[in-house]
Structure 1
């Protein structure tokens, strides 16, 4: 036996990250690691070892918040043996990703509801994952919207900045909503003139917010609206009564967030565009209809 052999006694998940700098794909890896720990029956948040060759990104801070510890296999200086190693499935093998190509007929519910009323067509797994994220950042779990907030209803507009695509997409600048600022300004004007309910329009510039600030904005929202994009993956941490309104460019008609809403048990609406330009009256009309269902 090598004198430099290192034994790791605690149960450890071995993780291979996919698209490690992309929020949506990193969510699939977080979810895969979480589900693997639940299926194996680990009592606490597991320790992780990255076995890929990727470098560090800003998303590592959330990995560290969600799990007990984080190490890189490439940084081990000698041979390592694990007493209890678990291979975490690849993120793109999870339902969050496979729903693109397969029909997964399952709807979300709260864990306490399923304990009292078992139903094999319903799942609480994604809601539990969202609660794990909230707990990791110190937010309460099992909280519900039971009455109108005293400060009014928050409508969170998840912003999406134009970005330079991955080289495999020819490096072109991509936009999912070409008149996003116009839509936001129209919503701001509508909110200022809305008399039926007190509404707070929240400017969700997630690219400039810490992960904790992003999660706080999601859990405090009564309605989440935004163009199809990675920021909407945060609806896994939304409250049970939250309503999602997705604006979908004709080039990005993918079911990611409709499926997440379904598996969370959230009310979901979509505005499908011809191209990437949204009619502001249409957006306001849809949001106005949604707000009428809330207690004022």
Structure 2
């Protein structure tokens, strides 16, 4: 191993050790795990720890702890740790740290980190109890075919008072809400969201004393509570993945957390990535009785991420390498989306140190991301909207042109993502030299593209939206677009654009 790689590994080991120290020193409830078993009358049955996954080593990783608040609307404030205003609705009782028995009282703790830039909060707390029967929604996690026709309102959670509870040692707080409407309006503002489910969850938290805090199961490891909306759409699911990743990093979790979906949506193929990214995955209604969390993190909605907010406000950021930003910080540049993309690839076991890859002997892969009919969710008819009316013709023309290219071996990959496992979709993205496709959610996969990948988006007149141009910019990828007068693309025009891109790649 050369000295440069050794220094990188030592630096990452030091950062990981520091994060472990900071985590256990800043999360009070983890200082006092029970040292003996208790009877049911004293304490709920001891929890058998679930298996957890370590964080992978990511070349684009930069520390998430901040010595000072990043400037308002800077790239770090948008994409990294802009959650720097801390508020403590419930501070831990110092006296409780010296008590051995959890049933002896002392209470939990709860705090939020607010971002002025994103107008959103990441909240976390200890000794929180979830009562599934007080959450009105469908069970969730069913096979799609078994719930055809189910209404969206049935899948979104409605939190009754006390759906979540937190143990308090102060008798004067017992029976009261953890936070009031003023707190919610200030730190979990609804904005343009008609039904802010995370606000509803936090608004339901009721304070109880130790005698009421009875649990059928304890989850000792850090757990993310996530509420989702457009769970079957890749773009919106990527915003949820990013929000959960950011929440994990901002709160300094030493291991990849568990995830509990506090919604009633059915299964989709996208759960393959949720399972790969985090230590475990379950649905709130899969618990038949109250469950308690030693450390719960409440994840902001995907609508509150820069990936979504960038569609309606200007986020003046450009992708750069982590090494560049480490040496010369720049408020107009970010490596956070590259870090996130590496996290997705690493979660599936793919190599991530791919910044200096020699030209493959097998040639350049041109990935054509296709749009296919498929059944997305219970209210979906199975037909996708046409964005490129002659897509088969364009694909066949590219394949014919590539097979006769005089200078390079070109492999045209048929990106039938709707019928490919998620791991194979990620593999196709990371192996692509050029990614081509009509505007559609499948192109969101470019968050996992390697640094030298080139993007060519074909945009019909009805779908001139900046989703993928922005992601490419924020990742520092080369991006090109073909704007159509309607929805028909002239194959020679597409091939001319591809030829120019390939010439820049040495072909």
Deviating more after overlay: 124-133 vs 56-65:
56-65
Q: How many Å separate the matches in 2 of 1:288 and 1:57?
A: 37
Q: TM-score of the superposition, structure 1-length normalised?
A: 0.94
1:205 matched residue in structure 2 = 416
Contact 1:162 1:175 in 2 (8 A): no
Q: CA deviation at 1:113?
A: 2.4
State how 1:188-203 maps to structure 2 within 5 Å.
188-203=399-414
Residue number in structure 1 paired with 2:353 = 142
Residue equivalent to 2:12: none
Q: Does 1:41 align with 2:242?
A: no
Deviations 1:52-105 (A, max 9, x none): 121222222221111011121112222222222111111111111111101001
1:239 to 2:450 alignment: yes
Give the CA deviation at 1:224: 0.4
Q: Is the 8 A contact 1:148 1:295 kept in 2?
A: no
Question: What is the correspondence of 1:167-206 to structure 2 with a 5 Å cutoff?
Answer: 174-206=385-417
What's the counterpart of residue 227 of structure 1?
438
Larger CA deviation: 62-71 vs 107-116: 107-116
CA RMSD in angstroms comes to 2.0
C-alpha distance in structure 2 between counterparts of 1:260 and 1:173, whole Å: 23
Deviations 1:171-212 (A, max 9, x none): 975101110000011111111221022211111111121111
Q: Which moved more, 1:163-172 or 1:103-112?
A: 163-172
- What is residue 168 of structure 2 aligned with on the other side? none
* Cα contact 1:165–1:174 (8 A) shared by 2: no
CA distance in 2, matches of 1:173, 1:115: 43
Aligned residue among 332, 341, 347 for 1:130: 341
Name 2:295's counterpart in structure 1.
84
Deviations 1:252-273 (A, max 9, x none): 1111101110111000000111
- Which of 135, 143, 153 matches 2:364? 153
Q: Is the 8 A contact 2:364 2:432 kept in 1?
A: yes
Q: Is the 8 A contact 2:374 2:382 kept in 1?
A: no
Residues of 2 paired with 1:165 and 1:209: CA distance? 14
Deviation at residue 221 of structure 1 after TM alignment? 0.7
Partner of 2:263: 52
The farther-off stretch of 284-293 and 92-101 is 92-101
Unaligned runs of 5+ in 2: 1-210
User: Which has the bigger relative contact order, CA under 8 A and spacing at least 6?
Assistant: 1
Q: TM-score scaled by structure 2?
A: 0.56
Cα contact 1:241–1:266 (8 A) shared by 2: yes
Match of 2:148 in 1: none
1:115–1:165 distance in 2 versus 1, CA, 3 Å: same
Aligned to 1:141, the other structure's residue is in SS state coil
Shift, 1:117, TM fit: 2.2
- Once residues 197 and 29 of structure 1 are traced to their aligned partners in structure 2, the CA distance between those partners, rounded to angstroms, is 39
C-alpha offsets along residues 142-179 of structure 1, whole Å, 9 cap, x if unaligned?
Answer: 21254321111111111111467989999975101110
How far apart, CA to CA, are the structure 1 residues paired with 2:383 and 2:365? Answer: 34
- Distance in 2 (alpha carbons) for counterparts of 1:165 and 1:6: 34
CA contact (8 A) 2:365 2:411 kept: yes
Gaps of at least 5 residues in structure 1 are none
Shift in CA distance, 128/217, structure 1 to aligned 2, threshold 3 Å: same
Runs of 4 or more consecutive aligned structure 1 residues displaced over 6 Å after TM superposition? 164-172
- Structure 1 residues 251 and 168 mapped into 2: Cα distance closer, same or farther (>3 Å)? farther
Q: Retained in 2: the 8 A contact 1:16–1:51?
A: yes
**Which aligned pairs between 1:240-279 and structure 2 lie closer than 5 A?**
240-279=451-490
> Contact 2:215–2:292 (CA<8 Å) still a contact in 1?
no
The 3-state SS of whatever aligns with 1:174 is: coil
Aligned length: 296
Counterparts of 1:43 and 1:268, CA distance in 2: 36
Is the contact between residue 15 and residue 50 of structure 1 (CA under 8 Å) also seen in structure 2? yes
**Are residues 141 and 189 of structure 1, via their aligned partners in 2, closer, same or farther at CA, if it must alter by over 3 Å?**
same
Query: Which structure has the larger Rg?
Result: 2
Separation of aligned partners in 2, 1:216 and 1:169: 28
Q: Distance in 1 between matches of 2:415 and 2:380?
A: 26
